[in-house]
């Protein structure tokens, strides 16, 4: 990967700002007000006062020192560490997955589709590795950060006993493989040869046909360890790597451009199955692609090194080129692939079988539901001069209020790509203005005063998201100060900070009932990630010209299942729009 997408952008992109301590503490009080009671607000104010006059200034000073000493982002290494210390299974905590809309796909068979996808990924990789890919710009024409792209290719999150490690293979222009999984069996397929040429369509299709026709498949799935809790995964991986052949195999998989899974017709491909599996999934590889027998396509991404914007841009590029006709060179070439053989003793086989069983259990803990609201999209909302995201977030808060009868936080992911090494922040969206409107609307009020309350709620949302987009959000700032505590003696050295960070009030602010992501891309049929909290819901929405696409994920132990919450959201959005349109 050339410096074009990394250090060359230092002079073109601003450095991510560090919010002031005073402003962040003030916003905590303001943003907690709608979701905690009056008595709790007094306790929170006292807790913040103790924190502000004790440990907070020192932690802010340490964080500011880190900000001063780097030309890059103060947040990126902290956020990366935050992901890597997570000990829970990746597929139900941080990974995200999507399926591609069938309308965006050409009429190809499974083998040809998979072969073309591999070619397109190789082309994209070479474009970035050689510096030929163009720089991306935002709506204002200003450049966007592209440093994440180098972590999409040939990378893997390796499990560790205390924290995980990020493995990144040097990005050469020659001798690159892809890993293919079919029926629990691993194959290494040559994708770029010694001269830097991408394998031909004929070469790849013949390799994939031979893979599907192979009857000597593995009785246990070696990759099952990647779905375990991370400390357990590290121990099982270490057990595997005591054997040199196994160690070499795992190294080849780590060095691969990506993992592609061919899926039989008896296993329907959905966003949920792409995310959770449970068979033939290599959960800690950064990019995994699925091609089903009925030619549906899905993607799953490991989140610690990348964010959704770059992952979706890559997805869009490789899918868009599927319709390109094969050239004359593609009719030539011989297949180059190798089945990976494993040397597993009885204890390791038993452990891998148990891992597969646990992965299946995890897959059954989550449910999801998807729907489309027609005749309601950007065209209708912009005609009413309403920000589509503001409308959706108010509708979500209305659905939450009606379902629970109370107030819990809702968060929305905000991109920081217009900063150097910018990743994302999470913005709490339930404001005092939003609460006032929803209480009045929920009580049946429909007069002009309520319409004014709605307009105030929209303005409050726009202002808050604007703060997030300028790097002034509080969630990542709090994470930074918490990390300073960790690096400099921990809770014992900062007892007041520990009391503050462990307080239930702060937990209410940073732990959402609804964690939301807006992805306005036509290629996405469904997008899924696990809820952020043990009783929460993950919500994806996409607002296109004349429709809204919604997906809800929930744990099976939740009070309301995914279908019930999705119905509440759909009803709330529809009712809200009809009322706004009638009272415009």
Taking only the tens place, the pLDDT of each residue in 484-528 is: 999 999 999 999 999 999 988 788 778 899 999 998 888 999 999
In a domain, 419, yes or no: yes
What tokens appear for 304 in the block? Answer: 């610690």
Strands (DSSP E) found in 127-229: 155-158, 165-168, 176-182, 185-192
Residue 139 lies in a domain: no
Supply the range of the domain harboring residue 446. Answer: 367-470+512-584
CATH number of the CATH domain containing 540: 3.30.559.10
Specify if 70 maps to a domain.
yes
CA dist 474 and 263 (Å) reads 43
Instruction: Report pLDDT digits (tens) over 211-236.
Output: 999 999 999 999 999 999 999 999 99
pLDDT (0 to 100) of residue 267: 83
Which phi and psi (to 5°) does residue 67 adopt? -65, -40
- Assess whether 204 and 350 both reside in one domain: yes
Domain endpoint, select from 458, 489, 510? 510
Three-state SS letters, 414-437: EECCCCCCCCEEEEECCCHHHHHH
Tell me, rounded to whole angstroms, the distance of Cα 27 from its chain centroid. 26
pLDDT tens track for 374-428: 999 999 999 999 999 999 999 999 999 999 999 999 999 999 999 999 999 999 9
Band (pLDDT 50/70/90 cuts) for residue 328 is: low
39 lies in the same domain as 105: no
pTM for the full predicted model: 0.95
Is residue 201 domain-shared with residue 306, that is, in the same domain?
yes
CATH code where residue 358 lies: 3.30.559.70
Quickly state the pLDDT bin for 333 (edges 50, 70, 90): confident
Q: Average the pLDDT over 347-358 and give the result.
A: 97
Given this model, what pLDDT does residue 520 score?
82
Is residue 248 predicted with pLDDT exceeding 90?
Answer: yes
Q: Examine the domain organization and report whether 336 and 285 are in the same domain.
A: yes
- Residue among 81, 82, 194, 303 flagged as catalytic: 303
What is the H or E stretch that residue 341 is in?
A: none
49 domain residue, yes or no:
yes
559 and 461 within one domain: yes
CA–CA distances in Å: residue 459 to residues 153, 176, 223, 388, 389: 40, 51, 49, 12, 12
Say whether both 466 and 497 belong to one domain. no
Same domain, 454 and 535: yes
Task: Give yes or no for a contact between 493 and 484, defined as CB atoms under 8 angstroms apart.
Answer: no
CA–CA dist 551, 539 (Å, integer): 6
Q: Give the model's confidence band at 104: pLDDT under 50 very low, under 70 low, under 90 confident, else very high.
A: very high
Q: Domain check: are 183 and 172 in the same one?
A: yes
Determine the Cα–Cα distance for residues 225 and 351; give it in Å rounded to an integer: 8
Show which of 364, 398, 413 is a domain's final residue: 364
Quick one: what percent of the chain has pLDDT higher than 70?
99
- Read off the pLDDT of residues 273-313 as tens digits, 9 standing for 90 and up: 999 987 899 999 999 999 999 999 999 999 999 999 999 99
Instruction: Check whether residue 262 and residue 309 sit in a common domain.
Output: yes
Secondary structure (3-state) at 336: coil
Mean pLDDT of 158-165: 96
pLDDT at 510: 81
Residues 72 and 97 in one domain: no
355 domain-assigned: yes
Do both 103 and 68 map to the same domain?
no
Is residue 554, in this structure, part of any structural domain at all? yes
Q: What is the number of domains present in the chain?
A: 3
- Of 298, 329, 364, the one marking the end of a domain is 364
Could you tell me if residue 2 is inside a domain? no
- Asked whether residue 422 falls in the same domain as residue 375, the answer is yes
CATH number of the domain where residue 32 is located: 1.10.275.20
- Enter the DSSP assignment of 411: E
Q: Is residue 135 part of a domain?
A: no
Report, as an integer, the average pLDDT of 138-154.
Answer: 90
321 is catalytic: no
* Three-state SS annotation for 77-144: HHHHHHHHCCCCCHHHCCCEEEEECHHHCCCCCHHHHHHHHHHHHHHHHHHHHHCCCCCCECCCCCEC
End-to-end CA separation in angstroms for the chain: 52
State residue 194's pLDDT score: 94
């Amino acid at each position: 990967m050339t410096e074009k997408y990394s250090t060359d952008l230092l002079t073109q992109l601003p450095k991510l700002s560090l919010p002031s301590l005073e402003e962040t503490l003030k916003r905590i009080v303001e943003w907690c007000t709608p979701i905690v009671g009056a008595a709790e607000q007094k306790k929170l104010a006292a807790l913040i006062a103790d924190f502000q006059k004790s440990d907070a200034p020192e932690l802010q000073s340490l964080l500011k020192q880190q900000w001063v000493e780097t030309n890059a982002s103060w947040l990126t290494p902290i956020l990366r560490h935050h992901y890597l210390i997570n000990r829970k299974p990746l597929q139900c905590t941080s990974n995200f997955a999507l399926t591609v809309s069938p309308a965006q796909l050409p009429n190809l068979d499974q083998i040809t589709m998979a072969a073309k996808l591999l070619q397109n990924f190789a082309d994209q990789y070479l474009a970035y590795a050689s510096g030929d890919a163009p720089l991306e710009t935002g709506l204002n024409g200003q450049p966007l950060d592209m440093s994440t792209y180098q972590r999409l290719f040939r990378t893997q999150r390796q499990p560790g006993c205390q924290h995980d490690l990020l493995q990144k293979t040097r990005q050469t222009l020659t001798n690159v493989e892809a890993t293919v999984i079919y029926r629990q069996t691993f194959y290494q397929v040559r994708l770029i040869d010694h001269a830097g040429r991408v394998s031909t369509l004929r070469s790849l299709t013949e390799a994939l046909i031979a893979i599907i026709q192979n009857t000597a498949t593995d009785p246990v799935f070696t990759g099952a360890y990647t779905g375990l809790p991370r400390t357990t995964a590290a121990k099982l991986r270490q057990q595997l790597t005591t054997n040199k052949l196994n160690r070499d195999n795992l190294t080849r998989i780590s060095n691969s451009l990506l993992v592609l899974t061919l899926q039989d017709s008896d296993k329907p491909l959905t966003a949920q199955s792409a995310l959770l599996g449970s068979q033939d999934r290599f959960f800690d590889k950064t990019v995994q692609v699925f091609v089903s027998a009925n030619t549906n396509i899905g993607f799953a991404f490991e989140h610690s090194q990348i964010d959704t914007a770059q992952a979706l841009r890559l997805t869009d590029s490789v899918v868009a080129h599927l319709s390109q006709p094969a050239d004359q060179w593609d009719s030539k070439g011989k297949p180059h692939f190798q089945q990976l053989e494993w040397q597993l003793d009885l204890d390791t086989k038993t452990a891998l079988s148990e891992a597969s069983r646990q992965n299946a259990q995890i897959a059954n803990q989550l449910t999801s539901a998807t729907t489309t609201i027609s005749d309601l999209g950007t065209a209708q909302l912009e005609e009413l001069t309403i920000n589509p995201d503001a409308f959706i977030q108010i509708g979500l808060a209305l659905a939450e209020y009606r379902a629970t009868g109370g107030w819990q936080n809702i968060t929305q992911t905000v991109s920081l790509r217009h900063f150097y090494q910018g990743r994302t922040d999470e913005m709490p969206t339930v404001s005092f203005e939003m609460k006032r409107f929803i209480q009045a609307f929920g009580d049946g009020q429909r007069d002009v005063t309520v319409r004014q309350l709605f307009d105030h709620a929209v303005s409050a949302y726009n202002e808050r998201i604007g703060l997030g987009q300028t790097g002034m959000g509080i969630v990542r700032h709090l994470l930074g100060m918490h990390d300073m505590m960790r690096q400099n003696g921990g809770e014992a050295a900062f007892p007041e900070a520990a009391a503050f960070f462990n307080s239930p009030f702060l937990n209410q602010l940073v732990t959402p009932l609804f964690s939301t992501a807006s992805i306005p891309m036509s290629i996405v049929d469904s997008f899924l990630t696990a809820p952020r909290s043990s009783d929460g819901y993950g919500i994806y929405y996409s607002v296109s010209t004349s429709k809204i696409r919604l997906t809800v994920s929930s744990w099976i132990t939740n009070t309301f299942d995914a279908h019930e919450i999705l119905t509440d959201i759909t009803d709330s959005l529809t009712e809200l729009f009809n009322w706004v349109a009638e009272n415009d």
